Amino acid sequence: MAGYNHIHLEELEELAKGNSQFMTRMLSACCQQLPGLLDQLESALRDHDVELIKRTSHRMAPTFHYLGRKDLGEVLEALENYTEPESVLNEKAAALLTEARHVLSDACEALKTIQQ
Partner 1 sequence: MQCLIIDDDEMVRIDLENRISRMPGLQLAASCATATQGAGILMGNKIDLIFLDIQLPDMDGLQLLDTLTSQRPSIILVTAKKEHAARAFDYEVTDFLVKPFSDDRFMKAVMRASRQRQNGSSNGATADHIFVRVNSVLEKISLSDILYVEAMADYVQIQGTKQRYVVHSTMKAIEQSLDPNRFFRVHNSYIVRLDKISRIEDNCVVIGDKVIPVSRAKIKTLLSQINMLKGQ
Binding site for partner 1 (CB under 8 A): 11, 15-17, 19, 22, 25-26, 29-30, 32-33, 55, 58-59, 61-63, 65-66, 77
Q: Which is nearer to partner 1, 60 or 89 (CB)?
A: 60
Neighbours of 40 (CB within 10 A): 17
d(CA 57, CA 115): 29
Neighbours of 31 (CB within 10 A): 17
Least distance between partner 1 and beta carbon 59 (Å): 7
Q: Which is nearer to partner 1, 36 or 91 (CB)?
A: 36
Q: Which is nearer to partner 1, 32 or 91 (CB)?
A: 32
Neighbours of 68 (CB within 10 A): 19
Least distance between partner 1 and beta carbon 94 (Å): 23
How many alpha carbons lie under 13 Å from residue 92 in its C-beta half-sphere? 20
Least distance between partner 1 and beta carbon 13 (Å): 12
Query: Are the C-beta atoms of 72 and 99 separated by less than 8 Å?
Result: yes
Q: Which is nearer to partner 1, 58 or 102 (CB)?
A: 58
Query: Are the C-beta atoms of 107 and 67 separated by less than 8 Å?
Result: yes
Least distance between partner 1 and beta carbon 6 (Å): 17
